[in-house]
Chains A and B, each alone.
Chain A
Amino acid sequence: MEHVVIIGNGVAGVTAARHIRKESDKRITIISSESKYFFSRTALMYVYMGHMPFEDIQPYESHFWKKNRIDLVEDYVDEVDFDSKTLHLLQTPPIHYDQLILATGSKPNKFGWKGQDYQGVQGLYSKKDLDLMERNTRGIKEAVLVGGGLIGVEMAEMLLSRNINVTFLILEKTFWGNVLPKSDGDFVTQHLKRHHGLTLLFEEELDEIIPDDSKRVKEIKTKSGKIIPCQFVGLCAGVSPNVDFLKNTELEIERGILVNTDLSTNQKDVYAIGDCAQFRTPIGKRAPIEQVWYTGRMMGETVAQTIVGNKMNYKPSHWFNSAKFFDLEFQTYGWVWSKRKENESSFVWQDSKEEILLHFVFDENSKLFKGVNSFGLRLRHELFDKWLTEKATIQHVLKNLKIANFDPEFFKSFEKRIVEAFNQEFNETVALAPTKWWRKLLLDKV
């Protein structure tokens, strides 16, 4: 029986294992040094905040693995011998593989800051990081976060939940400036400012971390010379592929493990998926390294097909993503660039009272809908995916905005005002397609 070995039990590796099992009887082993059972990485914050116990962020009960004949090995892979197809582990005897899937994930970026290895300085990616953060933040009062992205916001929310004041150093002029357009970044900033204990410093960079006598962080100095006292520094300037143990092998690595469109590497029967994979040729407008939950899952689905004999290329559909900035939900469908591309027009609508902002992007001439950022309003993935495939116009999207709304029942509806604002700004005459609640209750076929 062929032996498929997967290194890493994050969403990419576990999805691959599940889909291989659905289609085949191969022996499957997952090796992880992080935790015995798969857990949702994105939910680590909820454990720290006391919303959920750690067991609850594990999507499958422990009997799932036995039932699906997926062997779990809790160990660290020290060395991979690609010629003899053998893995050398720290504690367990060597394991032979017929096919190897590398799903090793990421590690927090450390850009060589002075003092980055002192006690109380850390990133947040793994279960170990969470445990470390628990120890590092016990009884402290002030923290500094470096880098204004999603993990930074998560860490800020976590720390505030424990009454720890946070100073957030953000490199860009606006929040998450390399991803969000200025209007959207400013909107998120407004929301963040509503939370007591959070200080945002834009265009500030970490210069040096200063320790006390016991080599624990005492304060930091910024590039502009500001001294900020703190007992914890969170490094949230992105993540990079966790591939150090594979360096200096025959495996071709740049920033991540270089893969072809079918996720194969330059080694026979070795594949790389998820955060650690870097595409030789980027797919569409996507980045060569995609560090997102959903793309990890999709790569796992794809590689499983190849492993069971239906050779398949990674072909994700339209881009989508979501996040939550404290209490502000964010969803995006299609492409909304931080800097508008040529021939792109954008329509931004913001409510005057509620915290809601929608940012539509469309082609200036053809009016083709390109993408949307939505804050504080939930949108239906299915419809936006369909509209992007069908190359719908912005008028068509706005006309049907009401059925695309995914907010809970009885929530206030903003579509009428959005369409009116659009008509006024672009001199259009879009009429909102009405939906009646009683039709929905009794008749509608969607």
Chain B
Amino acid sequence: MGTTTNYSIAGDKTQDLNITQKLGLTLASISLFILLLTWFTGLTLTPSWFYLSILLLGFSAGPVIYAVGTYKGLPAGIKNNGVYFNSLTNRGALGWIGAIILTLFYVCLYWYGDWFGDGTGAKGANEGTVALFDPLSQMIRGKSADKWFLYGTFYTVAIVFLGTKFLFKYRKNRYHFIRTVVVMFSQLGLAYILPFVLEGLNATSGGYYSLNPVNSWPLNSDFLTGYRIDARIAPESQPMGVAYMVWGIILFLIITPFVTYLVGKRWYCSWFCGCGGLAETAGDNFRHLSDKSLKAWKIERWLVHSVMVFVMLMTIAVMYSYFAKSEFKLMMYFPAWVGYSLLFGFLGLAVLLFLFLYFKGKGKSRNFMLVGAVIGMVMILSMLFSYLGNDSQAFGINSNTIKKGYGFFIGAIFSGIVGVGFYPLLGNRVWCRFGCPMAGYMGIIQRFKSRFRITTNGGQCISCGNCSTYCEQGIDVRAYAQKGQNIVRAACVGCGVCTSVCPRGVLKLENGPEEGRVNDNPIIIGHDEHPTLRR
């Protein structure tokens, strides 16, 4: 008895490679070699445009050719054969090696940019890996590359070409097609080309602020820090600076809650977001590695909402300190008391929102909305205390210190190293599930005030568990589906893969009336006479 049978020994047969797959892997390996060579030796290969072309060709065409070799000739459908027999996707040796290399890549990116040759040459010229990117950077933005340009390029190549692989894998599925094309466009057009082109046009000559229009606060936790506000309102940054400022505020204050109300947080998480985009494309092969246990769900709820509260607290503290300065650039437009009013007003709005969700929401977890309201009120009181005491810091904390701490622990270690580096170990949505403050914000709206749900198709569920296994957010979808219950969960990013892998057509992502959306005592259709199911 027990489960000692090893299903993977014969299963290894599925790993036989065909010639097309070998070609794809060869191209990708050459690229990997160039990357590792320049990274580890600091060698500056010339001509750089030549090696850059090879590097990008291998990383872009390689995976696509590999996917063609894998799926060609097969009817459209679910292609998960051997996922749990494959060393890369089953936390085997390849998975470990991949995770370690990715993690080291992030460590170097954040703290050891020199290793990539970022400005290490004479007069700050680039060497090594970064030097390869100089021609592309010159072309797009008219100046030399740096490690962030290198990272942005790799990131975009990953989304666009592994997205193409994803399209091929799920072909004939129009939901995945449209969603993936949008996420590819969002990364390539809005997050990569647009900011760099604007940068080339000196859009940020007065200082730096994020030019990526889909990078919304609170994910973009720096959005409201003083120096970014100053950069946006500097006369030389106009008209783009103020436009970005206004757009950013509309995005988190109006668009995000309204669209999340209509369609759920998926519009952001699996359609427009860069982190989500990478998870859906490059991370697709690791989606089943997310932890589905009840324990993981508990950790998730504490962690993601703590980070969210922390970002809000930090943002307000930073802005408070900004207004508390005797002179600040925004003074040209409005004095400090307006700024303070905005902060109090914003917190008050948040408290009202929590109270609203508490009274309107359904289910036990709405009690957490009361906790949110209390936290908000404590923050208001605390800030009032600082204000009346003429304190230059809100909440008695040094906003610069906590901002640095956030950048290190959350920005670099959580979202970068754990979030992406650990794809092959913990799954592709660790950051989105446990850390992202934007996901936390939208998740609350999605859970308590939204028209989005995953509908269960009556009594057709056979409890097979494909939906739960392939849920990248670790939602135990089956637990709801087998009871005939709608899935209304804060974490759901609406990727739609559960509906695709369901062999019995049970799940459907839907927007609809709020009435009856949360059905805690569902009826399993097909046995309606049954009293416990009728109640």
Q: Is A66's CB within 8 Å of the partner chain B? A: no
| Complex CA distance for A329 and B10, rounded to whole angstroms | 28
* Shortest Cβ distance from A355 into B: residue: B75
Given A49-B81, A317-B527, do A131 and B465 touch, yes or no (CB 8 Å)? no
Of A294, A378, A410, which is within 8 A of B505 by CB?
Answer: A378
* Shortest Cβ distance from A302 into B: residue: B530
* Shortest Cβ distance from A38 into B: residue: B463
Contacts of B1 on A, CB cut-off 8 Å? 33-36, 74
Of A55, A297, A378, A446, which is within 8 A of B457 by CB?
Answer: A378
Given A315-B529, A318-B526, A444-B512, do A331 and B7 touch, yes or no (CB 8 Å)? no
Asked if B469 and A51 sit within 8 Å, CB to CB, the answer is: yes
Asked if B81 and A51 sit within 8 Å, CB to CB, the answer is: yes
Q: Is A244's CB within 8 Å of the partner chain B? A: no
Which of B96-104, B172-180, B212-220 lies at the binding interface?
Answer: B172-180
| Complex CA distance for A406 and B508, rounded to whole angstroms | 7
Asked if B511 and A326 sit within 8 Å, CB to CB, the answer is: no
* Shortest Cβ distance from A377 into B: residue: B505
Contacts of A42 on B, CB cut-off 8 Å? 462-464
Contacts of B341 on A, CB cut-off 8 Å? none
Q: Is A400's CB within 8 Å of the partner chain B? A: no
Which of B11-19, B124-132, B364-372 lies at the binding interface?
Answer: B11-19
Asked if A331 and B82 sit within 8 Å, CB to CB, the answer is: no
| Complex CA distance for A51 and B512, rounded to whole angstroms | 32
Interface size in chain A (residues, C-beta < 8 A): 82
Which of B185-193, B299-307, B407-415, B496-504 lies at the binding interface?
Answer: B496-504
* Shortest Cβ distance from B293 into A: residue: A61
Given A40-B462, A74-B1, do A406 and B8 touch, yes or no (CB 8 Å)? no
Given A194-B75, A329-B503, do A381 and B262 touch, yes or no (CB 8 Å)? no
Contacts of A407 on B, CB cut-off 8 Å? 508
Asked if A195 and B75 sit within 8 Å, CB to CB, the answer is: yes
Given A59-B479, A316-B526, A381-B526, do A411 and B175 touch, yes or no (CB 8 Å)? yes
Contacts of A36 on B, CB cut-off 8 Å? 1-2
Asked if B462 and A293 sit within 8 Å, CB to CB, the answer is: yes
Chain B contacts with A in 162-177, Cβ cutoff 8 A: 173-175, 177
Q: Is A70's CB within 8 Å of the partner chain B? A: no
Given A298-B526, A381-B458, do A50 and B83 touch, yes or no (CB 8 Å)? yes
| Complex CA distance for A310 and B455, rounded to whole angstroms | 31
Asked if B527 and A298 sit within 8 Å, CB to CB, the answer is: yes
A59 to chain B, nearest CB (A): 5
Asked if A305 and B527 sit within 8 Å, CB to CB, the answer is: no
Chain B contacts with A in 480-514, Cβ cutoff 8 A: 482, 496, 499-501, 503-505, 508-513
| Complex CA distance for A317 and B482, rounded to whole angstroms | 17
A419 to chain B, nearest CB (A): 21
Q: Is A93's CB within 8 Å of the partner chain B? A: no
Given A49-B80, A59-B479, A324-B504, do A381 and B457 touch, yes or no (CB 8 Å)? yes
Given A51-B469, A52-B469, do A408 and B7 touch, yes or no (CB 8 Å)? no
Given A52-B84, A294-B459, A411-B175, do A441 and B513 touch, yes or no (CB 8 Å)? no
Asked if A409 and B175 sit within 8 Å, CB to CB, the answer is: yes
Of A33, A162, A315, A320, which is within 8 A of B460 by CB?
Answer: A320
Chain B 316-344 per-residue mask, 1 if CB under 8 angstroms from chain A, else 0: 00000000000000000000000000000
Q: Is B434's CB within 8 Å of the partner chain A? A: no
| Complex CA distance for A409 and B468, rounded to whole angstroms | 20
* Shortest Cβ distance from B3 into A: residue: A54
Contacts of B524 on A, CB cut-off 8 Å? 297
Q: Is B388's CB within 8 Å of the partner chain A? A: no
Chain B contacts with A in 446-473, Cβ cutoff 8 A: 451, 455, 457-460, 462-466, 468-469
Of A34, A135, A444, which is within 8 A of B513 by CB?
Answer: A444
B153 to chain A, nearest CB (A): 31
Asked if A441 and B263 sit within 8 Å, CB to CB, the answer is: yes
A46, A327, A444 — most chain B CB neighbours (10 Å): A46
A106 to chain B, nearest CB (A): 16
For this complex, 27 residue pairs linking A to B, each with C-beta atoms less than 8 Å apart, are A22-B532, A34-B1, A40-B462, A40-B465, A50-B86, A52-B465, A52-B466, A54-B7, A74-B1, A161-B81, A302-B530, A305-B532, A315-B529, A317-B526, A320-B459, A326-B75, A327-B77, A329-B505, A331-B505, A378-B457, A378-B508, A381-B526, A408-B509, A409-B175, A411-B173, A441-B262, A441-B263
Chain B residues within CB distance 8 Å of chain A: 1-3, 5-11, 13-14, 16, 73, 75-78, 80-86, 173-175, 177-178, 262-263, 288, 292-294, 451, 455, 457-460, 462-466, 468-469, 478-479, 482, 496, 499-501, 503-505, 508-513, 515-516, 524-533
Which 4 residue pairs of A and B lie closest in terms of their CB atoms, listed nearest first?
A381-B458, A327-B77, A43-B464, A378-B505
